[in-house]
Amino acid sequence: MCTIGPKTGDQDSLARLHAAGMNIARVNGAHGSLDDVKAMILGLKRDLPKGVEILLDLPGNKIRTDNIGEPLALAAGQEFVLKPENLTYRPLYKSLKQGDMISAADGTIRLQVLGVEGEEVKTQVIVGGRLGNRKGVNVRGIHANIPFDFERDIALLNIAIETRIDYVGLSFVRKVEHVRRIRAELVGTGIRTLAKIETSEALEHLDQILKESDLVMLDRGDLEADIGRENVPLTQKLVLRRAEVLGVPVVIASQFLTSMMAKPLPFMAEVSDVANAVLDGASILMLSEETAVGDYPFDCIATMKSVAQAVEGRLAGEHEAVILAAGPSKGFGALTANKHKCMLDVGGTTIIGHQIENLKATGIPSRAICVVTGHHHRQIEHYLRAEGFGGTFAFNPWYQTTNIATGLWLTKKSESNLVILASDVIFDPAILSDLLAAEGDVVLAVDHRTKFDEEDEKVVLAKDRVMRASKDLPLGEAHGEFIGLAKLTRKGAGLLWAEIDGLIRAGNMTAYLTEAFEQLAARGVEVRAVFTNGRAWSDNDNLRDLETSRESVYPRIRDAKGPQ
């Protein structure tokens, strides 16, 4: 998303921005006359390349500087008087008292109130800078009694409806009623709403606002003035995590590449900021003054696109893995008196050693593996560390009374491409290779067959789609068995973790993983199957299974891999 301004409003510049990656053109409703804003929108509708949408960002009840001709140079330590005529909200003085801190120009200028004399506010400059016209002014905690929609917003919303743009941005939303109020006015217009998260109150009502909005924008510039700069990075992660669970796209805005307003190359910290926004799960990144008034608008959008593509390309090919090895090891007699069944030898290697070797062979190093432990956890951790394991462990203290879904929940792996393995399964690594290559957000490895026993994790299929999955499925209805091996994209991992979170918070601590997969399918999430196609695999629930693994299954796996 690019903010359009004097440097980029002509047809050629719009085409260049689109070619470099712009999908949404933003009109900042805070600047210019109403006629200027309407003229810009009509010009964009005429000149924008096909497919580029338009957002009109309402200024909201953000207080701004007004009637300032040339920018004022403010130096730290000097006194500065704010007069009503220099503010868009003239009665601000009524809400201020000695000691209040005023943040201006996206937090780059700080003023402390020394006192209020009549209608004038006397301040001392704490952090100096150049204060220009129409720059934001923020004071924490004063907006409860200020109207949500100033007159300019009302007039701009009429322009948005008249010109039939695509999105309206709602600034300084503090509660869901603010979003509902505007959505009511837009009924029948086809215009979608973008709620801006830039206040502490919006964070308090985040889920409600997300559910009522088509998109949300995290405006870091205004948000930092309200909650403190140091709290913004973690807040960004929180908002993106909740939005992903609720399926709402998020725009991250403010101060991405500001150094590029005056030079063609970014700082490394700015590159990292763009990359981290993508890693956190942002759907859209926004450029503000960089493309509106900066000297290098096309370099900015090209830089942002190249960084985002590099990160997304790497994410698409990298996976983490979780091995679920917490539960008690029953059915093996004395063999598991002092060790977990994942440490049983199936033919020259332990089950868990075999799994880590297969993961490594498909490009997942041990540092990217988390092992969920419980029963005999000390032995597992000691053994793997001695073998050079570089990953992590997550201990399930309730392993005696919960199931493997709880173990996965404890890892909090909801933001990674993920491979999930039950700790008792051995398998031909070609099955894992096929699984990783398959398309889909949630993909299960399935043995396509018709004969089962009561303990099998049975599935009902519609071609390669998993419709139901449970141990409790009637034997005659099942089409295959989930072998305890699954792959999820970052989106799929987030959906699965949220589903398990819901089950656990509802008190279902004994839920099987297949139960969560079945609920995802019931909610319309596409759960796909990749078939074993006759390749060797087995789970190991008892001594008979272990004997089969040692005598026939593992030798087949070893032979399929060829000489080592």
CA distance 233 to 277: 9
Q: What is the pLDDT of residue 239?
A: 95
Residue 412 has pLDDT above 60, yes or no: yes
CATH number of 2-60+147-315: 3.40.50.261, 3.40.1080.10, 3.10.20.600, 3.20.20.60?
A: 3.20.20.60
pLDDT at residue 561 is higher than 90: no
For residues 401-418, give the mean pLDDT: 86
Phi, psi of 240 (to 5 degrees): -65, -35
233-245 average pLDDT score: 90
User: CA nearest 325: which of 427, 407, 410, 418?
Assistant: 407
What are the distances in angstroms from CA 87 to CA 37, 112, 214, 217, 553?
21, 16, 32, 25, 78
Q: What is the mean pLDDT of residues 533-558?
A: 94
Residue 160 CB coordination number (10 Å): 27
Predicted confidence (pLDDT) at residue 365 exceeds the cutoff of 80: yes
Report whether 10 contacts 19 (CB < 8 A): no
Average pLDDT over residues 222-226: 85
Does residue 93 contact residue 120 with C-beta atoms inside 8 Å?
A: yes
pLDDT tens digits along 243-285: 987 889 999 999 999 999 999 999 999 999 999 999 888 999 9
Q: Helix (H, G, I), strand (E, B), or coil: what is residue 539?
A: strand
pLDDT digits (tens, 9 = 90+) for 379-409: 999 999 988 888 999 999 999 888 888 888 8
Alpha-carbon span 173 to 117, nearest angstrom: 31
Mean pLDDT of 42-48: 97
Instruction: Give 452 or 216, the one with higher predicted confidence.
Output: 216
pLDDT at residue 564 above 70? Answer: no
Mean pLDDT, all residues of the chain: 92
- What are the structural domain ranges in the chain? 2-60+147-315, 64-143, 318-561
**Measured distance CA(61)–CA(63) in Å, rounded:** 6
Confidence grade of residue 562 (pLDDT, cut at 50, 70, 90): low
Residue 487 has what pLDDT? 96
pLDDT digits (tens, 9 = 90+) for 476-531: 888 999 999 999 998 999 999 999 999 888 888 888 888 899 999 999 999 999 99
465-470 and 458-462: which strand pairing? antiparallel
Residue 3 in this model has a pLDDT that exceeds 60:
yes
Structure tokens at 447: 């043995």
**Mean pLDDT computed over 354-372:** 91
Right CATH number for 64-143 from 2.40.33.10, 3.40.50.2000, 3.40.50.300, 3.30.450.20? 2.40.33.10
Least confident of 127-131, 448-452, 541-545: 448-452
In this prediction, residue 88 carries a pLDDT of 87
Distances (CA, A) of 27 to 39, 44, 538: 11, 9, 59
Cα(308)–Cα(381) distance, rounded to whole angstroms?
Answer: 37
Q: According to the model, what pLDDT value does residue 281 have? A: 85
At residue 51 the predicted structure's pLDDT band, cuts being 50, 70 and 90, is very high
Confidence (pLDDT) at 563: 59
Q: Say what the pLDDT of residue 109 is.
A: 93
- Look at residue 277 and give its three-state secondary structure: helix
| pLDDT given for residue 452 in this prediction | 86
What are the backbone dihedrals phi and psi of residue 321, each rounded to the nearest 5 degrees, phi first?
-135, 150
pLDDT, one tens digit per residue, over 76-108 is: 999 999 999 999 889 999 989 999 999 898 778
pLDDT band per the 50, 70, 90 thresholds, residue 74: very high
Residue 469 bridge partners (DSSP): 459
Q: What is the pLDDT of residues 325-352, one digit of tens each?
A: 999 888 899 999 889 999 999 999 999 9
The pLDDT tens digits of the residues spanning 174-187 come to 999 999 999 999 99
Residue 26 β-bridge partners: 3, 55
Q: What are phi and psi of 75, to 5 degrees?
A: -110, 145
pTM metric for this prediction: 0.59
Q: What is the pLDDT of residue 317?
A: 66
Structure tokens at 453: 């026993």
Position 402 scores a pLDDT of 87
- Residue whose tokens read 């956190």: 280
Query: Whole-angstrom Cα distance, residue 257 to residue 259?
Result: 6
Nearest to 66 by CA among 133, 151, 136: 133
Contacts of 261 (CB under 8 A, 6+ apart): 289, 290, 293, 294, 295, 296
pLDDT the model gives residue 315: 67
pLDDT digits (tens, 9 = 90+) for 274-304: 999 998 889 999 999 999 999 999 999 999 9
Q: In the chain, how many H helices and how many E strands?
A: 19, 27
Domain at 318-561, CATH class: alpha beta
Q: How far apart are CA 495 and CA 13, in angstroms?
A: 40
